[in-house]
Amino acid sequence: MNKTVATIPIAGMKPGTSGLRKKVVEFASGHYLPNFVQAVFDAVKPEAGFAGQTLVVGGDGRYYNREAIQTVIRMAAANGFARVLVGQDGILSTPAASCVIRQHVAFGGLILSASHNPGGPDGDFGIKFNGANGGPAAEKITDAIYACTEKINRFLTTDTPDVDLGRIGVQQVEGMRVEVIDAVADYVALMRKLFDFPALTRLFASGFRLSFDAMHAVTGPYAHAIFELELGAAPGTVRNGVPLPDFGGHHPDPNLVHAKELLDRMMGPDAPDLGAASDGDGDRNLIIGRGIFISPSDSLAMLAANAHLAPAYRQGIAGIARSMPTSGAADRVAQALGVPCFETPTGWKFFGNLLDAGKVTLCGEESAGTGSDHVREKDGVWAVLLWLNILAVRQQSVKQIAHEHWAHFGRNYYTRHDYEDIDSSVAKDLMQALALRMRDLTGHELEGRLVATADDFSYLDPVDGSLSKNQGLRIVFEDGCRIVYRLSGTGTSGATLRVYIERFEGNPTRHGMETQAALADLILLAESLAGIRVRTGRLAPSVIT
Ligand code: G16
């Protein structure tokens, strides 16, 4: 039976760059989750209500995923949805959820994940709403959701028992149809359409070796189905392939610190041809060739330059979009291809309008996200498949492809320094002081470099005309070097300061430098300009990518 439960607003439910992320204990306490879910429904409800509409629900399998899904299903029924599609065992990677929303013409979806953040009872949980295009809700919708959380006084639910999430097929919750679906089938079918699977099968049959670290997160079943079962990669290609509620105690963030085992393997004597990893919810990717790490910014540029080698992009690409802190490597490819390159704020949601309007085909972010117009999320397994397709056609190593790319387009040396879990007020003060300092930097010299622009990045969406301000402090020098500072929107404790440093090198004889060495003077400048050591007491970044 449907019921209305009285509730009161809970402070601090503002969705960040990618939905609402908090500690599990917070999510699981009192009415925290129902309040947010009801706020989403209230904010997005069409005038005619949800009659006849489908909601997609799934998550990355982390601790509290199943309980949260049962809550969402009961509330969807009480709020009048006609149908819920839920991944078996509550599993749907974020790109797979996007695919299912589009494929089944759903109203939207609720994705339960805290992405690359750790899981488990003491870990993080998260939830976000994606709209009918399969992409993260635009800012005006997340603002509306937040406004609803601030005035909520009731939520609607049912007193029905739990749905059996393990059983594929149809069940009823009050008047609503719940379909438990195979979590990988729609996604695998889409990948088959985009890439040359027979060529990839031949690649593996010829002895090509891939090592894919699923980090005990959601991509395990997808990677196993595609790489090992469909394409015939050797058993064991997929490592840590069973999704675990606490990710095996690890941090499912595919960077050089948390995927160190993979990095060591790829730098070792018997390295496979390609190493890759994906994060908690399967939207991020890490690409490492034998003896070479490909930065996400470079990966975007190299994929864009070679995308025409895969069937889906044979006709060429319409354009590229990258987030502002992402290096300018992709811009050079866009220029060579004669297509536009858009610079957006951090957050995949900013790509949605450009993709929907057909202005861009490929998108990417320095934070290990790459994707295309096939869904409206970044997509880790897709990125690995596109690399494989390119390797199969070019019959070269990742290193050869990277070196040829740099020789042709030049090399954008690039690094990101993260200072994690610093005191939030210290971080805020640092950014405020820096913003003040930047006001009069334009036209002045800093350590012998002329500052061309120093500003707080803002973005005017060319499709809907919306303006997003305060998206990161950036200093662009006349010689093309760049320093960018921003605070992470995805952390759950304290603040994380990210510093992005970039230098373009056109001279091929200088393309073999170690990245930190190539950027050493800018790294020092970035530190002293913001006074990071003095203000935070940190002598070094927590993570260097
Ligand atoms: C989320 C967004 C990404 C964005 C990233 C930024 O990633 O989906 O588009 O680049 O946050 O993170 P931060 O604000 O910490 O720099 P994910 O993978 O956590 O959903």
Kindly indicate the confidence band of residue 511, based on its pLDDT and cuts at 50, 70 and 90. very high
Q: How far apart are CA 32 and CA 40, in angstroms?
A: 13
Sign for the pseudo-dihedral over CA of 271, 272, 274, 275 = negative
pLDDT tens, position by position, 259-300: 999 999 999 999 999 999 999 999 999 999 999 999 999 999
| Whether the Cβ atoms of residue 363 and residue 371 lie closer than 8 Å to each other | yes
Q: How far apart are CA 313 and CA 305, in angstroms?
A: 11
| Whether the Cβ atoms of residue 477 and residue 449 lie closer than 8 Å to each other | yes
2-183 and 411-544 share one fold: no
- Mean pLDDT check: name the lowest of 119-123, 197-201, 446-450, 494-498: 446-450
Kindly indicate the confidence band of residue 12, based on its pLDDT and cuts at 50, 70 and 90. confident
Type and span of the H or E element at 491: none
The atom of ligand 1 lying closest to the CA of 491 is 15
Kindly indicate the confidence band of residue 431, based on its pLDDT and cuts at 50, 70 and 90. very high
Q: What is the pLDDT of residue 138?
A: 87
Residue 439 CA to ligand 1 center (angstroms) comes to 28
Backbone torsions φ then ψ of 208, nearest 5 degrees? -60, 135
Mean pLDDT of 154-159: 97
Best residue among 14, 18, 215, 255 to mutate for probing ligand 1, ranked by most atoms within 8 Å of CB: 18
Q: What is the pLDDT of residue 447?
A: 86
User: Ligand 1: which residue has its CA nearest to atom 16?
Assistant: 488
| Whether the Cβ atoms of residue 498 and residue 485 lie closer than 8 Å to each other | yes
Ligand 1: residues with CB < 6 A are 17-18, 115-116, 283-284, 323, 346-348, 365, 367, 369, 488-490, 498
DSSP calls for 30-85: TTHHHHHHHHHHHHH--TTTTTT-EEEEEE---TTHHHHHHHHHHHHHHTT-SEEE
User: Ligand 1: which residue has its CA nearest to atom 13?
Assistant: 488
User: Ligand 1: which residue has its CA nearest to atom 2?
Assistant: 347
Q: How far apart are CA 157 and CA 2, in angstroms?
A: 6
Kindly indicate the confidence band of residue 152, based on its pLDDT and cuts at 50, 70 and 90. very high
Mean pLDDT of 469-497: 91
Is the pLDDT at 235 greater than 80? The verdict is: yes
Is the pLDDT at 492 greater than 80? The verdict is: no
CATH number of 187-409: 3.40.120.10
DSSP calls for 507-518: -GGGTTS-HHHH
Is the pLDDT at 490 greater than 80? The verdict is: no
Q: Is 115 a catalytic residue?
A: yes
Q: Which of 487, 511, 509, 516 is nearest to 329 (CA)?
A: 511
Mean pLDDT of 58-64: 97
| Whether the Cβ atoms of residue 110 and residue 54 lie closer than 8 Å to each other | no
- At the topology level of CATH, where does 2-183 sit? Alpha-D-Glucose-1,6-Bisphosphate; Chain A, domain 3 (3.40.120)
| Whether the Cβ atoms of residue 330 and residue 364 lie closer than 8 Å to each other | yes
Is the pLDDT at 26 greater than 80? The verdict is: yes
Q: Where are the domains of the chain?
A: 2-183, 187-409, 411-544
Number of C-beta neighbours around residue 367 at 10 A? 26
Q: What is the pLDDT of residue 489?
A: 81
pLDDT tens, position by position, 139-151: 889 999 999 999 9
The atom of ligand 1 lying closest to the CA of 365 is 10
For 436, residues 6+ apart whose C-beta sits below 8 A from its C-beta are none
pLDDT tens, position by position, 179-231: 999 999 999 999 999 999 999 999 999 999 999 999 999 999 999 999 999 99
The rounded percent of the chain whose pLDDT value lies above 70 is 100
| Whether the Cβ atoms of residue 498 and residue 325 lie closer than 8 Å to each other | yes
Q: How far apart are CA 287 and CA 277, in angstroms?
A: 7
- At the topology level of CATH, where does 411-544 sit? TATA-Binding Protein (3.30.310)
Is the pLDDT at 343 greater than 90? The verdict is: yes
Q: What is the pLDDT of residue 440?
A: 85
| Whether the Cβ atoms of residue 255 and residue 543 lie closer than 8 Å to each other | yes
Is the pLDDT at 256 greater than 90? The verdict is: no
Q: How far apart are CA 496 and CA 493, in angstroms?
A: 9
Kindly indicate the confidence band of residue 446, based on its pLDDT and cuts at 50, 70 and 90. confident
pLDDT tens, position by position, 352-394: 999 999 999 999 999 999 999 999 999 999 999 999 999 999 9
pLDDT tens, position by position, 62-81: 999 999 999 999 999 999 99
Q: How far apart are CA 297 and CA 326, in angstroms?
A: 6
